Amino acid sequence: MISIEEDKQFLINQRKKGRPGFMYGIDLKEFKITTKRKTRIMERREADVMRKEQSDREVEQMMQTAELVSTSSSILESDVSVVPVAGTSTANIVIEHTSPEDMEFASLLSESPRAKRKRGFRNIMTTKLCAALDKRKISDRDAVHILIATIEALDLDVQEFIINRSSIHFYREKIRKEKASKIKKYFKDTKLQAAVVHWDGKLLPALTETEQNALCDICIFIVSVYIEAWFCAPSAAKAPYQDFTVLSKLFAYQAIDRDISQVALQKLSNHLWYLSPEVVALAFFDPNVPFESKIKMVNALNRETELLIKNEKRIQIQIDEIPPIINDRIEQFVTSETREFFKRFELDDEFLMTDPLTWHQNECFVKGLELVNKLKVVNDSAERGV
């Protein structure tokens, strides 16, 4: 659910006729709030880890004190003395004065590694170790047992290492985030000519029947309608005729899936920027437009602009108006206002007086084609009406 009132109003306006309003960038106020919230969460997690470690140390110290006092009580008989145990201010060993064996035993206890409680200071979690644990899907609790057993097998002191469930969980999350940030930065800085997307085969057996049907619907729609338009999207010259072609394909798609066709047509009818009277001039430079249509487009340059689309940056049509529009082809969008395109870019339209079959040999057409090929066609610019 959207909780920001400003965003709600924007989406409501996008469903209105004419789609008033536009998005102009990042909401800095919301960005600062989100950043502070994430920082507080990370600080709380680090504090929880420290509290957990402190609690574990206190519990172990109490257990050690209780064990040492219990051991000393069995030695107490007659004449006694108290020997403090190193590393603690509360645990003492009670021994006899007259027994050398007891004195030696107390000395060993006071110098034993167990009596010298140390806080772990060596972090064992590395990038490779974290990746190995994730690869084998080992939980944090299981990782504690594995790491302790490994350290003991290497004849190292376990107490020197930071090993507990909360610390391992914290470091694994931290390493994952650092790795993800490095991958994003590397991908952003790398200029790839091509990329290969690997589909996880394990996902397919886990799909439900509803998900399988939805996946089939998406694949059929992409192959039948969308994939050609997606590849041609960066080309400015192909934009008008491509919009008209997609409009025709979506209308014909009713024979396959009427629901998808209706929803897609409703959405596309609000995005026909490149069929407006001026921008449709790009179609003169599109090699996919039939020569017969280009001849009719040239003849339509003397036609007055219809009142419905005059001075509009985009046209708006209803779904029930699509069939006659498809039958009239792309030349119906060309009017006398289309010449403004050539004036805006200071292009010589002398080639329009010749046969379209010879345009590629005309110097004016070649210069215009070079300019059109340099135009950027991005959805963001179109959405903002630039």
108 pLDDT higher than 70: no
The domain tally of the chain equals 3
In Å, what is the CA distance from 92 to each residue of 70, 107, 115, 118, 177? 10, 12, 11, 18, 47
Residues 327 and 215 in one domain: yes
Please check whether residue 237 lies inside any domain of the structure. yes
Q: What percent of the chain has pLDDT over 90?
A: 23
Q: Which residue has the higher pLDDT, 16 or 336?
A: 336
Is residue 221 a contact partner of residue 260, using CB atoms and an 8 Å limit?
yes
pLDDT surpassing 80 at residue 128: yes
Query: 297 and 242 in one domain?
Result: yes
Co-location of 64 and 106 in the same domain: yes
* In a shared domain, residues 373 and 232: yes
Q: Which residues of 120-159 are buried (b: 16+ CB within 10 A; e: fewer)?
A: beeebbeeebbeebeeeeeebeebeeebeeebeeeeeeeb
Q: 157, 189, 221 — which closes off a domain?
A: 189
Question: Looking at the structure, do residues 139 and 182 belong to the same domain, yes or no?
Answer: yes
> Is 62 a residue whose pLDDT tops 60?
yes
Give residue 118's pLDDT. Answer: 65
Residues 103 and 131 occupy one common structural domain: no
Q: How far apart are CA 277 and CA 270, in angstroms?
A: 16
In a domain, 353, yes or no: yes
95 phi and psi angles, rounded to 5 deg:
-135, 165
Burial 252-291 (b: 16+ CB within 10 A, else e): ebeeeeeebbeebbeebbeebbbbbbbbbbbbbbbeebee
Determine the pLDDT at residue 52: 85
DSSP 85: P
Domain co-membership, 184 together with 252: no
Predicted local confidence at residue 78, as pLDDT: 41
- Do 131 and 98 reside in the same domain of the chain? no
pLDDT in tens, 267-295: 888 888 888 888 889 999 999 999 898 99
Q: How much is the average pLDDT of 175-197?
A: 84
Is residue 11 in some structural domain?
no
* Range of weakest confidence among 63-67, 149-153, 269-273, 293-297: 63-67
Rounded Cα distance between 68 and 91, Å, is 6
Residue 106 has pLDDT above 60, yes or no: no
Query: pLDDT at residue 86 above 70?
Result: no
Question: Measuring CA to CA, which residue among 85, 38, 91 is closest to residue 63?
Answer: 91
Mean pLDDT over residues 298-319, rounded? 68
Give the number of other CB atoms < 10 A from CB of residue 174.
Answer: 15
Q: How does DSSP assign 160-199, residue by residue? A: GB---HHHHHHHHHHHHHHHHHHHHHHHHH---S---PPP
Q: Which residues sit opposite 83 in a β-bridge?
A: 93
pLDDT class for 385, splitting at 50, 70, 90? Answer: very low
Per-residue pLDDT reduced to its tens digit, 5-55: 877 887 788 777 766 665 555 667 887 888 899 999 999 989 888 888 888
Structure tokens at 242: 């491509």
Q: Answer with the one of 111, 145, 168 that is the final residue of a domain.
A: 111
Quote the pTM value.
Answer: 0.46
Q: What is the pLDDT of residue 126?
A: 93
Share of the chain above pLDDT 70, in %: 75
Asked whether residue 229 is assigned to any structural domain, the reply reads: yes
Q: Which residues contact 257 (CB under 8 A, 6 or more apart)?
A: 217, 220, 221
Q: Is residue 339 part of a domain?
A: yes
Beta bridge partners of 122: 161
Domain for residue 143, yes or no? yes
Question: Does the pLDDT value for residue 199 go beyond 90?
Answer: no
- Mean pLDDT, residues 178-183 taken together: 90
pLDDT digits (tens, 9 = 90+) for 343-352: 998 999 889 9
Residues 268 and 174 in one domain: no
Q: Using pLDDT thresholds of 50, 70 and 90, give the confidence band for residue 56.
A: confident
Rounded to the nearest integer, the mean pLDDT of the chain is: 79
| CA distances in angstroms from 142 to 7, 134, 147, listed in the order given | 45, 12, 9
Residues 180 and 60 both lie in one domain: no
CA atoms within 13 A on the CB side of 238: 14
Residue 77 lies in a domain: yes
List, in order, residues 6 or more apart from 106 with CB less than 8 Å away: 83, 93, 95
Residue 97 has pLDDT above 50, yes or no: no
275 and 153 fall within a common domain: no
Domain span holding position 228: 209-383
From 146-150, 305-309, 321-325, the region with the lowest mean pLDDT: 305-309
Average pLDDT, integer, range 56-75: 57
Residues 351 and 254 in one domain: yes
Residue 195 lies in a domain: no
Which of the four pLDDT bands, split at 50, 70 and 90, describes residue 300? confident
Predicted confidence (pLDDT) at residue 94 exceeds the cutoff of 80 = no
Neighbours of 24 (CB within 10 A): 7
CA dist 91 and 97 (Å) reads 19
